[in-house]
Chain A
């Protein structure tokens, strides 16, 4: 590693590497996203982060038919793919992407102050729309991540609008500065603001597994792990990922399961063995409702309007 406070850029043939002493990013052109996020040599990603549109339907979602109306977002959550990548390094915009032979001009000593890379994900909905995830990495190596959703008429209301990170191993716990217990936009008045430490990745034990564990209005989140999948890594010390709000507080859930895994189980004991960490940072969260469980929708202001543009951002450090 060179002694510099600039970003070290590796113009690969299928990926862009961005490194500082502490952070190492690999953005994969093939996978269409951030394939690797290493902090102090520990890997934080199992698969590329993607937009997420589905939450495991609640009893109320099923009872009022939202699950039927919103069903195409389940497909979009699982199968939407990257359709376009935009890369800017400092002031230079690369279009097409700087792969061979174009990148033959570069060396292993390329440096920059700012990398901005965006991935457009085209939803598998009808009509389709675009969700863009942009990573902006400044010379400190810290990334600001922004997701922008393009509103589209004719799509059903959204179950959730956020980003999903799947981490290689299960966290030992997390700590956040935000609201106590599990909260939703229509169920957070009783929560206290403070610092909360959660051991492990508890799944709220609703009789039928469903959306759970959301934490609204969070300023800061620190996830702690002590295991990796790296066979040569014998270190068992804790290591952490810190996520901070930017202009607005963020909402998150941190569970060992994806929405689809939760959706499939009829009982909590049917969930697979917990082995990963699934972090959802949600820009918009649908309320849980409760007027009844057989027809009445969540109150209108707590639904997510899919026809409107929306963006949110947060910072990794």
Chain B
């Protein structure tokens, strides 16, 4: 197959040759590697890559993926990083409108009865990053099946290896994984990636944030031994009045099916609770294993059990060790529309969190994540909404370990297609009910689910943010309902199409609904539990009047709580030649127009990760219902 630039214009083409999304379990060669948290099956490709920036798609290098291409005029760029923050392309912050507002007229393909056009494959705003990485395989990779795993690339990418087309991917915030095996050499492989800032996916990624592009999350190679656990689906449930657990799991293997699988569950003291052996087959199902006297997982006691899966060959030699830490917890809605976690009323003392670092944008480090978790713990924040896209995978592990309740949101926001200057005007809304936009949004739901499904911390699947509603949002809701009966679904945008409320979202979700309005809903026989998925807008000096929300918790059991908007100011540290200082800059400070200026800074934290004075108030009120 050859790469086709017209895929950028086609909402029905969003993944070519991509490996189906699967669980994010860690895998190692043996226990030693597990102890050292270093897997010889993983080879990082992070670091310096050769790079060529093209201001538009017409001037991009066409042959750069070929093995004989002369790349001597390429620069170097760090991977991961944002192209804009390497000063190749202009920074732009814009909220609801599309970044091409006032520059290019566009309508989504298939909206308003149209077909596709060449708006993206010929669009003059479509900047291009062409990346080349030369690599030799680690010794441990020789002769193995090898995939390349991109954890996040904004916004559409084509991949080649050693001159051969490998695949195409969209969805900037979920992994894109491709099989490299057929074209792989031991030494001097040439991986070529072309990243386009825009495609039809741009209509689905209109989040209120700085608009960046590039390979902004890590890239790694994955090697598979002769048998590999490709997917793990855990389903721990609770029984006997919250005393005992029931463990279910489905294991899917690739490669040779000749050998054994040994599965062990241990508690934090290393006591083995389950130890069983199975003959290796493509799929192994573990059903209804009763584990007595379990510890439940919650914010105060995030108790996790250690699952090991030993993959053994026919001689019972260990060839792969898989690891996952999971907890037992149960979320449900009572007949009275109260949300219970482990049988007790759940209160969400939450924040919305964009991934942000004032130096590197959405390329954040584990250190940033750990600091944010510490801030949560220090200030009684018990929940996070991953606004408005799946986060880096390590974040979910940290939330499991620290008892942070997660609302795992899809990468979906089509705000500019249905709301203009504050008014609802959905004439060319996508995805709405357009058949051509259905698979792409289902795929986003699937990637979010399949990748993250084993994380105990995830209590809610959120369909997306501010994307209006129609048949396609219904289909997303159904996707989650048909795959997962252990979590709740969430979507706020259905408030604009109340007729669809019985088909979308287990929660009645609003954003910024004043306390008195929220009370009206709660007083009148609520049909769903009520949530403020965004509230207390913390722009500048704000967060006054929180009491009026918090007292609803005491008055109405159906009030689930809310997620403060938001965690950290989006501002960029920039050198100011006038003052000679490094200073924080926001939208509009880069000659970026149209912009929404300081609206990028709504955090409880300043962009430098220090707390705003308002945090002491959050700590107090969130401490009242810990």
- Which of A's residues lie within 8 Å of B, judged by CB? 58-60, 63, 180-191, 204-208, 210-212, 267-269, 287-294, 296, 298-299, 302
| CB closest chain-B residue, reference A59 | B540
Provide the bound-state CA to CA distance between A217 and B549, in Å: 23
| Pair B541/A298 contact, Cβ less than 8 Å | no
B376 → chain A, closest Cβ, in Å?
16
Complex interface: chain A residues within 8 A of B544 (CB): 184-187, 287-290, 298-299, 302
Task: Render B597-626 as a binary contact track against A, CB cut-off 8 A, 1 for contact.
Answer: 011111000110000111011111100000
Question: A287 to B543, alpha carbons, bound, how many Å?
Answer: 10
Contact (Cβ within 8 A) B601 A207:
yes
- The answer to the question of B539 belonging to the interface, with a C-beta cut-off of 8 Å to chain A, is yes
On chain A, the residues within 8 Å of B337 by CB distance are: none
Top 3 A-B pairs ranked by shortest CB distance? A190-B620, A186-B544, A59-B540
Q: Which chain B residues lie closer than 8 Å to A63 at the CB level?
A: 539
Choose among B539, B542, B589, B617 the residue that contacts A189 (Cβ–Cβ < 8 A): B617
Closest to A187 in B: B544
Smallest Cβ-Cβ distance to B616: which chain A residue: A190
The answer to whether B512 and A291 touch across the interface, beta carbons within 8 angstroms, is: yes
The chain A residue with its CB closest to the CB of B599 is A293
A179 to chain B, nearest CB (A): 9
Cβ-closest chain A residue relative to B611 = A181
**Whole-angstrom CA separation of A63 from B512 in the bound complex:** 14
Complex CA–CA separation, A291 to B538 (angstroms): 9
CB of B495 within 8 Å of the partner chain: no
Q: Contact residue range for chain B? A: 35 or more
The answer to whether A269 touches B512, judged by C-beta atoms less than 8 angstroms apart, is: no
Is the CB–CB distance between B617 and A187 below 8 Å? Answer: yes
Kindly list chain A residues whose C-beta atoms are within 8 Å of the C-beta of B613.
181-183, 204
* Known contacts A190-B617, A268-B583, A269-B583; A288/B598 CB under 8 A: no
Alpha-carbon distance A141/B328, docked complex (angstroms): 71
Given A207-B584, A287-B545, CB of A293 within 8 Å of CB of B539: yes
User: In the assembly, what is the distance between CA of A261 and CA of B543, in Å?
Assistant: 24
Q: Which residues of B contact A59 (CB under 8 A)?
A: 539-542, 598
Q: Does B579 contact A (CB under 8 A)?
A: yes
Task: Check A60/B540 contact, CB under 8 A, given A207-B598, A302-B545.
Answer: yes
Question: B584 near A288 (CB under 8 angstroms)?
Answer: no
Q: A291-B512, A298-B544 are known; give 16 further A-B pairs, CB within 8 A.
A: A58-B540, A59-B598, A183-B613, A186-B547, A187-B617, A206-B612, A207-B569, A207-B584, A207-B598, A212-B541, A288-B542, A288-B543, A288-B544, A291-B537, A292-B512, A293-B539
Please measure, in the bound complex, the distance between the C-alpha atom of A58 and the C-alpha atom of B620, giving whole angstroms.
23
Q: Are A291 and B541 in contact (CB under 8 A)?
A: no
Q: In the complex, which residue of chain A has the Cβ closest to the Cβ of B613?
A: A182
Q: List, in ascending order, chain A residues with CB within 8 A of B536's CB.
A: 290-291
Q: Can you list 22 pairs linking A and B with CB atoms under 8 Å apart?
A: A181-B616, A184-B541, A185-B544, A186-B544, A186-B545, A187-B544, A187-B617, A188-B617, A190-B619, A207-B569, A208-B598, A267-B584, A268-B583, A268-B584, A269-B578, A269-B579, A288-B543, A290-B538, A290-B546, A291-B537, A296-B512, A302-B545
Main secondary structure of the interface of A (DSSP, over half): loop
B277 proximal to A (CB < 8 A):
no
From B539, B589, B618, B621, name the one whose CB has the most chain A CB atoms within 10 angstroms: B539
Instruction: Judge whether B543 and A187 touch: CB under 8 Å.
Output: yes
A207-B585 Cα distance, complex, nearest whole Å: 8
Chain A nearest Cβ from B602, distance in angstroms:
7
Q: Which of B422, B541, B616 contacts A204 (CB 8 A)?
A: B541
Q: How far is the CA of A153 from the CA of B571 in the complex (A)?
A: 43
B380 smallest CB distance to A (angstroms): 10
Q: A267 vs B621: C-alpha distance in the bound complex, in angstroms?
A: 31
Q: How far is the CB of B192 from chain A (nearest CB, A)?
A: 40
Interfacial chain B residues near A291, Cβ < 8 Å: 512, 514-515, 535-537, 545
Contacts of B600 in A (CB 8 A): 207
A191 touches B616 (CB 8 A): yes
Contact with A along B541-584 (1 / 0, CB 8 A): 11111111000000000000000000001010000101101011
Rounded to whole angstroms, the CA-CA distance of A268 and B579 in the bound complex is 11
Residue of B nearest to A185 (CB): B544
- Name the residue among A204, A206, A208 with the largest chain B CB count within 10 angstroms: A206
Chain A residues within 8 Å of B578, by CB: 269
Instruction: Name the A residues within 8 Å of B620 (CB-CB).
Output: 189-190
| A205 partner residues in chain B, CB cutoff 8 A | 584, 606
Contacts of A184 in B (CB 8 A): 541, 544
Residues of A within 8 A of B607 (CB): 207
Chain A residue numbers with a CB within 8 Å of B224 are none
Across-interface contacts of B583 in A (CB, < 8 A): 267-269
Q: How far is the CA of A185 from the CA of B544 in the complex (A)?
A: 8
Report how far A291 CA is from B579 CA in the complex, Å.
36
Q: What's the minimum C-beta distance from B268 to chain A, rounded to whole angstroms?
A: 34
B586 and A207 contacting across the interface, CB-CB below 8 Å: yes
Q: Mark B526-541, 1 if CB is under 8 A from A, else 0.
A: 0000000001111111
B618 A190 Cβ-Cβ under 8 A? yes
Q: Is the CB of A207 within 8 A of B540?
A: yes
CA distance A290 to B581 in the complex (A): 31
- Kindly list chain B residues whose C-beta atoms are within 8 Å of the C-beta of A185: 544
B542-A60 in contact (CB<8A):
yes
Q: B592 to chain A: closest CB distance in Å?
A: 15
Tell me which residues across on chain B come within 8 A of A267, comparing CB atoms.
Answer: 583-585, 589
- Tell me, in angstroms, the Cα distance from A47 to B455 when the chains sit together: 63
* B618 proximity list for chain A (CB < 8 A): 190
User: What residues of chain B lie closer than 8 Å to A204, measured between beta carbons?
Assistant: 541, 612-613
